[in-house]
Chains A and B, each alone.
Chain A
Amino acid sequence: MELVEALAEALARASTILPEEVVRALRQARDREEGPARVQLEAILKNVEMAKAGRLPICQDTGTPTFFVRFGVDFPRLRELMAAIPEAVRQTTKAVPLRPNTVHPFTGKNPGDNTGRYIPAVTWEPVLGDSVEIHVLPKGGGSENCCALRMLAPGVGLGGIKEAVVEHVVGCGGLPCPPTVVGVGIGGGADLALKLGKIALLRRLGEPHPEPEVAALEKELFELINASGVGPMGLGGKTTVLAVHVEYAHRHPASLPLGIVIQCWAHRRASVRIARDGAVEIVQ
């Protein structure tokens, strides 16, 4: 399979098929909710099934196409990959179709193919090896508008982090289309904290962080936010978040950056793995 074809297929799958573990989490949420909250989750699950059956976008906001590339420094086809990413976006925009979502901030012009200056947004991370792993994360505007950066005083400690995350996520109410998935990035700098929050979303839903202290924070934040009662779509209920994922980087002694990234219930993602010999695998 050609690179463009593989990437286009991954973006199409991400836009139309919700990963199985996300569907499972939504079903579990439906089973414990009642009233308007249950009505919301039933509508969501019905929508997810219809989208999959018809290969249609799960949500009309098909998002900003965002890619995270972990490339082996000895992978031989990097030049080709660079060009393949925007080309795959153009093709998928037409084929699925996706909503043209790139607008020039000064002129308001929309090129109509989901590309533009710096878009698709691609994060390149070099790793040792000769294969490449590309994550696709189409993320809608409603949940992206609810992302936040807090530059905390280091003295507030872990308690301060917990309070800031819970206050922010609960304060967003129904705006980011709960039940959401929250990615929290701690440390690094202002930009890195937010980037880590996004990278945290690439992990399989609900898979705890390998380090026990981090996993414990994830679990505690999950329980605290769900005790708020915001519920599905902000209409009240037990399920405000499906999962909280945390990533961290070392920080400057004077800084405690906290990046809070919120992803809507339509936690769409897919990955492409390409071996040196060209063997392609698409996973969700």
Chain B
Amino acid sequence: MEKILTTPIPEAEARSLRAGDVFYLSGLLITARDEAHKKTLERGAPIPLEGLAIFHCGPVVQKGDGGWKVVAAGPTTSARMELFEADFLRRFKPRVIVGKGGMGEKTLQALAEVGAVYAHFTGGAGVLAAQAIKRVREVHWLEELGIPEAIWVFEVEKFGPLVVAMDSHGRSLYKELSTQVEKNMETIRARIRGK
């Protein structure tokens, strides 16, 4: 059975997700990259974010007669948002952060405090993401920040697959994997030096 979470997501539901779980998202997905995080922390969010999902993404969009159309919208590298995400989570309480590549200790700590997860979406799968975006509800700070950095409010249906990579119980797949990779690297170094 495919698991689908619908926004607004209650804290308890976010806390029930465990690292490694796969799920899909329906409801509101809000893009925020570096500048959007920074500006939101400075002047407040343009819409209430509690229970919603944040997406590290700079989309390709096209303006037509019926408004904005999303052409491609895969995730960007989340590590850059590590500067802001812990404060952002505590202040605005989104329940899901969607990105790629993982985030650090500060974010992991904030996910546990707030009751939220970091979910990985396949990097580069921009068309797959776009087909789940049914409508652009609104866009904020477009003039000031430009297309990739603006805050886009997407209505999504079955957006995914999303892999819970960091949960609210202190588990991070990235941290666990890096221990394993370091062990493998010892063997690899020995192979190189032995030849």
Name A's B-contacting residues (CB within 8 A). 36, 39-40, 43-44, 46-47, 50-51, 54, 56-62, 97-100, 110, 140, 142, 145, 159, 162-163, 166-167, 170, 173-175, 177, 224, 227-231, 233-236, 264-266
Contact = CB atoms under 8 A, between A and B. Distances in A.
Contacts of A224: 188, 191-192
B127 interface: yes
B20 interface: yes
Interface of B: 20, 22, 57-60, 62, 71-74, 76-77, 79, 100-102, 120, 122-131, 146-148, 161, 163, 165, 173-174, 177-178, 180-181, 184-185, 187-189, 191-193, 195
A235 B47 CA distance: 33
19 contacts: A47-B125, A47-B128, A57-B71, A59-B72, A60-B71, A97-B71, A98-B60, A140-B124, A142-B101, A166-B192, A173-B101, A173-B102, A173-B177, A173-B178, A224-B188, A224-B191, A229-B184, A234-B101, A235-B165
A142 B127 contact: no
B124 A227 contact: no
B60 A99 contact: yes
Contacts of B20: 36
A155 B161 CA distance: 48
B188 A47 contact: no
Contacts of A36: 20, 22, 163, 173
A204 B42 CA distance: 48
A61 B56 CA distance: 13
A44 B127 contact: no
B37 to A, nearest CB: 16
B19 to A, nearest CB: 10
A163 B192 contact: yes
Contacts of A50: 127-128, 131
